[in-house]
Amino acid sequence: MLGWLMTAPLAVLRWLISPVPLTVIVVLLAWAYYSFTKNFDFWKSRGVSGPKPCLPWGNEVGKMFSGFFEMDNWLYYEHGGKKFCGLFEMHHPVLFVGDLDLIRSITIKDFDHFVNQRDQFGAEFWKETLILLRDAKWKETRAVMSPTFSASKLKAMHQVTLDNAQNLAKYVEKQMAETGVVEVKDAFGRFTMDNIAACAFGVNCNSFTDPNSQFATNAAKIHSFHPLMIIRFLAETFLPYSIAKYCPDYSVKIGAFFGDVVMKTIAHREKNPSSTRDFLQLLMDTKDKDGKRILSDSSIVAQSSLFLIAGYDTTSTLLTFAAYCLAVDQEIQQRVQQEVDDAVERHGGLNYEAIMDMPYLDRVISETLRLYPPVARLERVCSKDYTLPGTDIHIPAGTLVFLSVFGVHRDAELYPDPLQFDPDRFLPEVKEKRHPCAYIPFGSGPRNCIAMRFALFEAKIALAAMMRQLTLKPTPQTPPHPMPLDDDGFLATPKGKKLPLLAVPRE
């Protein structure tokens, strides 16, 4: 038996290097090399600069292995991306754009050429989410959903959001009393979890007291970047779907859980009509002229889940960076506290009208999103052959386009002293002088973030509730401004994925 184990591999090796098998192997390798590299002159032939294409990643090694934000800076400043440059994802050509007029053309003027985002297949459950819908189906669903984020609808969600914000302030005080420090990223994550669970699913998650609830546990899995999720994402990005579909899909069970939550809530409310005006109920209430519900059950499940996926980590990250900026600049924090106090006095409490009457807090949030945008870039796919305006550079349908957010937001030509935190950059008279695409944390044009108003509304209430009661201060370990960013993941995150701060009661 042992002798067979030793001789069998040698026999196989001798067969592989015999003329016919060896010829087949060489031909297959040559074909694979040609297939992979045949597009490597795509950008050079069009006169577009960019990093040198090479195997196996598509571009020269270097910043390709750094975080998204550092890589985008590399493309923006070192390879012509401040205007536009060309790169590759494996063998797929990608146009990286930093020119503001071109960003406006792609997202607004010539939107009909760039309606869709990149294909992501995944489980059937996710395919109906607004972010993955395409063409007419996207347009139809977007039109149905847009009214759910009107001012009147947000006002109806104010009390629920305020209750969760007050729970946040109590939790921060409790943590400070027990440990002498507050991990604010965790605290804000619990707040956004509870608030989205209540506003999107009609569920009382209560993660401040029970962080291991079934809802919180499954929601956390979505953002955990489990190795199987990363493998599936890479497979769908770089391989044909006929191959990628066989990769395990970690999200199937998670989607099934949220689908079950939504369907049970829908069934209960159809039997027992509710006066609740949360996101789920608003979607259930969308009716056509014959009184029939427009969105199917599966679409409502998908959009409610998207609300959680897109809103949980992005909003908690915004709040984390805002808290950091306030803690390291006490003068700005004092201005916010004074504005909150004045608005509460004018309107008789921290009601909807008071929240809407805090322009300086608006500017603080806007400046936080400028300096620390949740995502480094936006993505669009060219759906019709397109010639870049003012050039003879032609890109065919199917070309992926990256629109730089991080590079634009930190460009010294657009924002002097760009690493300085200055809310007055967003005074009305200052904003008017800037290009409309110089600030795009929520995207630009018809395909911008549909829940932008809710995210800003939610963040304002959380910060106002905290500033009403507490003063944030840095710890000895808090890094000086600007906050270093973590290299991992797709979203901006403080280095080390944690941010401990001090929170003391206001005098």
The annotation places the binding site for heme at: 449
Q: Can you tell me whether residue 62 is helix, strand or coil? A: coil
Cβ neighbourhood burial of 131 (10 Å; 0-12, 13-18, 19+): middle
Q: Tell me the three state secondary structure of residue 335.
A: helix
Binding-site residue numbers are: 449
Cα gap 238→4, rounded to integer Å: 40
Helices (H), 385-487: 406-409, 428-431, 452-469
Q: How far apart are CA 466 and CA 503, in angstroms?
A: 9
Can you state the angle between helices 251-271 and 297-328, rounded to 10 degrees?
Answer: 110
Q: How many CB atoms are closer than 10 A to CB 117?
A: 17
CA atoms lying within 13 Å on the CB side of residue 144: 23
N residues, the chain = 507
Q: b/e string for 272-292 if b means 16 or more Cβ within 10 A?
A: eeeebbbbbbbbbebeeeeee
In angstroms and rounded to an integer, the radius of gyration of the C-alpha atoms of the chain is 25
Which strands sit side by side in the sheet containing 500-505, from one edge to the other?
Answer: 182-183, 500-505, 470-474
CA distance 114 to 450: 17
Provide CB contacts within 8 A for 460, sequence distance 6+. 355, 358, 361, 362, 365
CA angle 187, 189, 192 (to 5 degrees): 115
Cβ atoms of residues 458 and 158 within 8 Å: no
CA–CA distance, 260 with 214 (Å, rounded to integer)? 12
